[in-house]
Copies of this chain bind each other. A is one copy, B any other.
Amino acid sequence: MASRRQLKLGAFMRPVSIHTGAWRYPGAAPDANFNFAHLKRFAQTLEEAKFDAFFMADHLALLNMPMEALKRSHTATSFEPFTLLSALAAVTERIGLVATASTTFDQPFHIARRFASLDHISGGRAGWNIVTTSNPDAALNFGLDDHVPHDERYVRAREFYDVVTGLWDSWADDAFVRDAQSGIYFDPDRLHVLDHKGAHLSVRGPLHIARPVQGWPVIVQAGASEPGRRLAAETAEVVFAAHGSLAEGQAFYADVKGRMAAAGRPRDALKILPGAFVVVGETDAEARAKRARLDSLVHYDSALASLSVALGHDASRFDPDAPLPEIPETNASRSGRERAIALARRENLTVRQLAQRLGGYAGLAFVGTPRTIADGMEEWLETEGSDGFNVMFPDLPGGLDDFVRTVVPELQDRGLFRRAYDGTTLRDHLGLARPPNRFFPDPA
């Protein structure tokens, strides 16, 4: 079984949970976004389960939602990713640590330096989730009145990536000779000054930190737009995808892997890991009930806003405890509207339940016994829907512990997931090659 293709599993984390009602769930740690002890415990548990990576969500402003909804959300306070992941690096040994950082609102010299530092501190476990930051409120926190347009953000992102990876290549791996006898600390011939002058960025370099342990930290992206897919095919090593169905996943998988061939990259050099919300129960019915209970903790006022947006129609006059009425056609996104209606019909949800689902977490979900969940994940892997998943836990620590205690062993028994780490770096876990240094291509 050892040679069977295996799932890659990241844990996509917010301190309290991705689900907006989770802080009210029995056993939750509603103060985890203030309290490092919880995060340490979560990361260590994920490492015991041999997860590939701990993946920290981020945003650069308060989430853009009405105050009536925001005041009910635990997302209003959270740790900053670099400080959190660096602290976790010191109390874990093997698990990868993926931090989100924006190419629109930060400087490539800072980003290159911090990821290099995190990679050295962690012994080669850092990954950079490149985001261009679509929240317009973020611009206002960084001295910009208007948000940078989408396409321009992607042009800058590509240049930013070139600069950051170029800075990581400032030093050959053998540059630091540290010869105490002669007194030579480094060989100047093994140092490269980038001297980048481009359309958006001007950065001299070199970076004043040695090349990262992994050469480059692992490059992660999530963009699903046309420029996002192009950037991913050219540069990404992990894509954090968001799909509602296996068919969508397969189409995305075929598209991005096809683009890679066109960009001259082997298909295996990029792992596609959709986000997957996972709710475990001893029976499928118990798991569904657990999810329903969790959704019921999303306040109806907050949930209604999500439903109205999805439907393109004010849902506040609907009877919350009746089935969804017929909705007239509007100019809103047809796919969002149709998905919401189909979901309500399929699961026989009331207006309230549908709203709470949309206000909680409405993307791809595996809900059931460990066997049901493993069946689902196996199908995605075997039919080229994905290379694994970024798992989202419904509640912490309970949902995480359930997954680790029951689903991981089921996946291991099927030969679909590792029982031990083979290597020490995040690249080792993901089966990604260490990139050569563009300025010093000779092996050290």
Q: Is A339 located at the chain interface by the 8 A CB criterion? A: no
* Of the residues B40, B72, B185, contact of A71 by C-beta under 8 Å: B185
Docked Cα-Cα span, A291 to B90, in Å, equals 34
**How far in angstroms is the closest Cβ of chain B from A407?**
27
| Listed stretches A3-11, A81-89, A250-258; interface member | A81-89
Q: Once the chains bind, are B40 and A109 in contact (CB under 8 Å)?
A: no
Chain A 26-63, CB-CB to B under 8 Å as 1, else 0, gives 00001101111000100000000000000000011111
Q: Which of A259-313 contact B (CB under 8 A)?
A: 297, 299
| Listed stretches A200-208, A365-373, A388-396, A436-444; interface member | A200-208
Q: Is A76 located at the chain interface by the 8 A CB criterion? A: yes
Protomer copies? 2
Chain A 180-224, CB-CB to B under 8 Å as 1, else 0, gives 100111111000000000000111111011100000000000000
**How far in angstroms is the closest Cβ of chain B from A422?**
23
* Of the residues B30, B118, B178, contact of A178 by C-beta under 8 Å: B30
Q: Once the chains bind, are B209 and A71 in contact (CB under 8 Å)?
A: no
Q: Is A341 located at the chain interface by the 8 A CB criterion? A: no
Q: Is A77 located at the chain interface by the 8 A CB criterion? A: yes
Q: Is A401 located at the chain interface by the 8 A CB criterion? A: no
A contact face: mostly helix, strand, loop, or mixed: loop
Q: Once the chains bind, are A183 and B114 in contact (CB under 8 Å)?
A: no
Q: Once the chains bind, are A87 and B143 in contact (CB under 8 Å)?
A: no
Docked Cα-Cα span, A83 to B86, in Å, equals 5
Q: Is A105 located at the chain interface by the 8 A CB criterion? A: yes
Docked Cα-Cα span, A411 to B62, in Å, equals 48
Docked Cα-Cα span, A203 to B176, in Å, equals 42
Q: Is A318 located at the chain interface by the 8 A CB criterion? A: no
Q: Is A384 located at the chain interface by the 8 A CB criterion? A: no
Q: Is A133 located at the chain interface by the 8 A CB criterion? A: no
Interface residues, chain A, CB within 8 Å of chain B? 23-24, 30-31, 33-36, 40, 59-63, 67, 70-80, 82-84, 86-91, 105-107, 109-110, 113-114, 116-118, 120-121, 123, 137, 140-143, 145, 171, 176, 178, 180, 183-188, 201-206, 208-210, 297, 299
**How far in angstroms is the closest Cβ of chain B from A131?**
15
Residues of B within 8 A of A120 (CB): 34-36, 79
Docked Cα-Cα span, A107 to B104, in Å, equals 13
**How far in angstroms is the closest Cβ of chain B from A365?**
22
Q: Once the chains bind, are A142 and B107 in contact (CB under 8 Å)?
A: yes
Residues of B within 8 A of A176 (CB): 31, 34, 76-77
15 contacts between A and B (CB under 8 A): A23-B180, A23-B185, A36-B90, A74-B178, A75-B208, A76-B185, A80-B116, A83-B121, A87-B87, A90-B91, A91-B91, A143-B201, A143-B202, A143-B203, A183-B297
**Chain B residue with minimal CB distance to A88?**
B90
Q: Once the chains bind, are A86 and B91 in contact (CB under 8 Å)?
A: no
**How far in angstroms is the closest Cβ of chain B from A17?**
13
Residues of B within 8 A of A141 (CB): 109, 203-205
Residues of B within 8 A of A89 (CB): 36, 87, 90
Known contacts A23-B185, A88-B90, A91-B90, A208 near B83 by CB under 8 Å: no
Residues of B within 8 A of A70 (CB): 188
Docked Cα-Cα span, A256 to B205, in Å, equals 37
**How far in angstroms is the closest Cβ of chain B from A138?**
9
Besides A78-B209, A109-B141, A109-B142, 15 other A-B contacts (C-beta < 8 A)? A61-B208, A72-B183, A76-B208, A77-B171, A77-B209, A79-B120, A82-B83, A84-B121, A86-B87, A87-B87, A90-B91, A140-B203, A141-B203, A141-B204, A145-B202
**Chain B residue with minimal CB distance to A204?**
B140
